[in-house]
Amino acid sequence: MMLAADQGLADTSNLLVYTAMAVYALAFLAYVAEWVFGGRSRVARTAASLDTGDQDTDAATPAVTVRKNGATSVLERPRVVTRSTGPGRPETLDGPGAAGGDERGDTYGRIAVALTSLAFLMHLGGVVTRAIAVERGPWGNMYEFSTAFSMVVTGAFLTLLLLRRNVRWLGLVLVGTVLLDLGLATTVLYTETQQLVPALDSIWMWIHVPLAIFCGGLLYLGAIGSVLFLLKDRHEAKLAAGATPGRLSSSVLGRLPSSVSLDRFSYRINAAVFPLWTFTIVAGAIWAENAWGRYWDWDPKETWAFITWVAYAGYLHARATAGWKGRKAAYLAVIGFICFLINYYGVNIFFDSLHSYGGV
């Protein structure tokens, strides 16, 4: 393999990625401050919960301002509740996450989102300059795939915020794992700029691989939702049983949306991504026929891509036919994403595969 012609741009790409990591770290600290210092007063929870657009409501009446003897009073708006799926569960206030805190916590949250946006722009710049430096798609090895993957994750999160979806509760976990991914990419997985071997120099490199990155990024958001659903559902079950959860558990899990909203969030993402993942596998098979003369060879990468597809197909089928909308479905969704991770990290590192062109 040849080194890229423009090593200067490659160094600029590395600098942008490192700078993005530093800003992501500041964003992570701001998200921590939002959760730690943001109070959960009843009025703050109620006002914030009315901003969510994905829940069952008892009413949606705006706040009423009343002037009396020169003073101003604000009447509290009706509570917004989402009924839990479990039998005997109490009505649960569907808080929008850490954003449901007081004004101080909300300020930290806004700072965190601003820092995340700045880090994303630097991250995007790092990926783009890497592409220019190598004169190809910036996903020819595990380092490039990892940086592009975490960029898609962050971009999807910010896009949901721009669409006025109340998903700021994702920020702390998401930015933390993006930092972990970039840390692994820049240390363990780092690869010098290289040109592709002939078998990878194909138009399908611009179709199959970007689709895999895009699907993986969105499936990760769905996996976060499923894990948080499992935690929130257990918390709600304890409350319904009359138990008293720990103070830390109540403080953290009480700020998450209801289990119903978390379950719905994960399902919608996974259902939307599944057709794209199906096409990703089909595109890979077509590319394999062009490169190797056969559509399918049960190569480890192909096998685990198919296992991932089966896991998510089982998840969607179970919800559609067996009515699984709770913990069982969430476990299937988490298993599906674990299969995706094995397909990416496990196969590339521990298996001999026809897909090991780019190395680690």
pLDDT tens string 18-40: 999 999 999 999 999 888 876 55
Give me the pLDDT at residue 50, please.
39
CA distances from 10 to 20, 100, 130, 175, 196 (A): 15, 42, 6, 24, 16
Give me the pLDDT at residue 49, please.
46
Give me the pLDDT at residue 348, please.
77
Instruction: Give the pLDDT band (50/70/90) at residue 197.
Output: low
Q: Domain map of the chain by residue range?
A: 7-25+109-350
Nearest CA-CA partner of 315 in 219, 173, 214, 233: 219
Instruction: Please tell me the chain's helix, strand, coil percentages from 3-state DSSP, rounded to the nearest 5.
Output: 70, 5, 30
User: Is 50 exceeded by the pLDDT of residue 209?
Assistant: yes
Question: Which tens digits make up the pLDDT trace of 258-315?
Answer: 888 899 999 999 999 999 999 999 998 898 888 777 888 888 888 999 999 999 999 9
pLDDT greater at residue 215 or residue 355: 215
Give me the pLDDT at residue 344, please.
84
Place of tokens 């004169």: 135
Instruction: Give the pLDDT band (50/70/90) at residue 252.
Output: confident
CA distance 106 to 299: 49
Instruction: Give the pLDDT band (50/70/90) at residue 79.
Output: very low
CB 190 within 8 A of CB 359: no
H/E stretch holding 73 reads strand 71-75
- Residue 204: CB atoms within 10 A of its CB come to 16
Question: Which tens digits make up the pLDDT trace of 51-60?
Answer: 444 444 343 4
